[in-house]
Structures are given as C-alpha cells and as structure tokens.
C-alpha cells in the first residue's frame, strides 16, 4: 500500500517537473523518469507484458526519438519561447477545472471498490498473447498496417523537396 503511494507521488512529481522545466532537454529526461514510474505501476498491477513493452517502446524508442529531434534543433534554455504569465495562469485554471470535473463526475458515479474475483493471471505474457491472437487478431494485423503507413509517411515528410530546390 505504501509502495503504491510512494510510486504515485513520484509519478506526479516527475510529471510536474516535465511541464515546468525551462530547459527542454531536462523535460525529456523527466518524462523518461515518469515513464519509469509508470512501468512500476504496471508491475504492481501484475501486467507484466505491458510493463516490459512500456519500458522498451516508450522509454527506449519514443523518448530517444524525442531526444534526437531536440538535439537536431539545438535547443537550450535561452532560446526557449515563454508564454506570458496571464496565459499560464489561465492554463492552470483550465486544467484545474478539468480535474475538478473529472473527480466530481467519478464521485457521482459511485464505482465499486473492487470486483469479486480479480484474476491476477491475465497480465502474464502467455495469457495475454492467447487473447491477443484469438480475439483481437484483426486489430493486431491492422496495427501492423498502421505502422507501415507511419513509416512511409515519416520518410516522405522528412525528405527534402528536390523539385523546388532545382527551380
């Protein structure tokens, strides 16, 4: 129990640091830390497959991609554009309103605390794989198509436009 609270506290702390740090590189690093805490949450829920995938895909691939692009643009603290204070306060208030609404609506719904028989086995890789490849086969295949289109799109977008350069 106390483990959960500690990890939750860390999650919130790191995510706050993500959005409030001026230096973008530090933001990326804090985000990585946040994802690490997420992984721990998944382990606590016995969703082992998700924990591992989170670790590898998110922290390993996506965050590194972010860092690449940041480095490419050579950003540091001085060139970071800053919004005016008024907008910042409005943003925080809007976010706070959203939070209050969410919490309020959840309170009104009166969800039950826990179900009767939680099955802690479903997070194991073997079980998840069974469900994935039997019930969710079609979405699985389609997601491969999705990744293909993403690759093609990314390459196309990043290509230099030769025609305009040659006149």
40 binds another protein (CB under 8 A): no
CA separation for the pair 131, 148 (Å, rounded) = 24
- Quick one: tokens of 135? 């019930």
User: Shortest distance, CB of residue 40 to another protein, whole angstroms?
Assistant: 11
Q: Are 49 and 124 in contact (CB under 8 A)?
A: yes
Q: Decide whether 81 or 167 has the Cβ nearer to another protein.
A: 81
Both tokens of residue 155?
């390459």
The backbone region for 86, taken as left when phi is positive above 0, alpha when psi lies in -120 to 50, beta otherwise, is alpha
Which two three-digit tokens encode residue 6? Answer: 């500690």
Contacting another protein (CB under 8 A), which of 78, 126, 138, 149?
A: 149
Chain residues 2-21 in contact with another protein, contact rule CB under 8 A = 3-4, 8, 11-12, 15-16, 18-19
The length of the chain is: 167
Residue of the chain from 6, 76, 135, 141 that contacts another protein (CB under 8 A): 135
Q: Site for another protein (CB under 8 A): which residue of 6, 71, 76, 103?
A: 103
Q: Tell me, by CB under 8 A, how many residues bind another protein.
A: 90
In the complex, least distance from residue 134 CB atom to another protein, rounded to whole angstroms? 10
């Amino acid at each position: 129990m106390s483990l959960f609270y500690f990890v939750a506290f860390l999650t919130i702390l790191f995510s706050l640091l993500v959005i409030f740090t001026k230096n973008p590189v530090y933001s990326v690093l804090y985000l990585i830390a946040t994802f690490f805490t997420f992984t721990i949450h998944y382990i606590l829920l016995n969703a082992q497959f998700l924990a591992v995938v989170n670790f590898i895909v998110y922290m390993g691939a996506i965050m590194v991609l972010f860092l690449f692009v940041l480095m490419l643009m050579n950003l540091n603290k001085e060139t970071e554009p800053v919004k005016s204070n008024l907008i910042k306060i409005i943003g925080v208030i809007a976010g706070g309103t959203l939070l209050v609404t969410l919490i309020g609506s959840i309170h009104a719904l009166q969800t039950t605390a826990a179900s009767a028989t939680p099955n802690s086995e479903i997070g194991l890789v073997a079980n998840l794989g069974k469900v994935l490849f039997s019930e969710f086969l079609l979405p699985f295949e389609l997601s491969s198509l999705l990744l293909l289109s993403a690759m093609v799109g990314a390459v196309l977008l990043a290509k230099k436009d030769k025609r305009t350069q040659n006149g």
